[in-house]
Amino acid sequence: MDLRVLTDEILLQLLKADNDKAFKEIYTRHWKPIFEAAYYRLANKEVAKELVQTIFLRIWEKRHSIQIQHLAAYLQTSVRNSIINYLESTLVHKKYQQHVIDSSAGFCNSTQATVNFHELSQAIEKAIDMLPEKTRHVFRLSRFDQLSIREIAASMNISEKAVEYHITRSLKTLRFYLKDYLDPAL
């Protein structure tokens, strides 16, 4: 059967029935306009590719439960939301870096204190990067974006208990990896 002649609606029905060829046809048919929209707004091919891949990966993973009426509109909305989320997270990360720089300027008068501060900042980033992807994402939403447990659960479509688990796990991991930097007097 030549899937190229089928409508998006029929392809979506086949997708729900685990037809990977229907998924490939949806991807082939729609990836380029979505990529171009992301690239136009971000001017970064790698980030645009990653956002598009994530959108299609989510469609595949949620193919049994996802409710899509108009595929092209759904994809345009998804890419717009992905771009907004990416820009917001980038902005938060930049604000965090600036905060770290601003904070260090007031506290670090000696060369040794500056070196220690930069080592600690690098160790924190390294420890965060060692977390599993989902745990790292929950941690960043909690600590950097300052979202509540309920907001994180809603945005990631997981339970509040799962969010609490990921936060607890990340804090334990960070404590373990940063134990050499903790003040013994504390």
Distant-in-sequence, close-in-space partners of 120: CB < 8 Å, separation ≥ 6 = 178, 181
108-181 has CATH 1.10.10.10 classification: yes
Residue extents of the structural domains in the chain:
3-84, 108-181
CA distances from 174 to 53, 100, 123, 127, 135 (A): 30, 18, 9, 6, 12
User: What's the confidence (pLDDT) of residue 104?
Assistant: 61
User: What's the confidence (pLDDT) of residue 130?
Assistant: 86
Cα Rg of the chain (Å, integer): 21
Quick one: what percent of the chain has pLDDT higher than 90? 34
Residue 185 backbone phi and psi in degrees, to 5: -70, -20
Long-range residue pairs from 83-87, CB within 8 A, at least 24 positions apart, any chain = 83/38, 83/41, 83/42, 83/51, 86/42, 86/47, 86/51, 87/42
Half-sphere exposure of 114 (CA within 13 A, CB side): 7
User: Which DSSP category does 145 fall into?
Assistant: S
Architecture of 3-84 per CATH? Orthogonal Bundle (1.10)
User: What's the confidence (pLDDT) of residue 46?
Assistant: 92
Answer left, alpha or beta for residue 146, where phi above 0 means left and psi between -120 and 50 means alpha.
left
End-to-end CA distance of the chain: 69
| pLDDT tens digits along 86-129 | 888 777 777 777 767 766 655 545 667 677 778 878 888 888 88
1 three-state secondary structure = coil
Confidence band (pLDDT; 50, 70, 90) for 30? very high
87 three-state secondary structure = helix
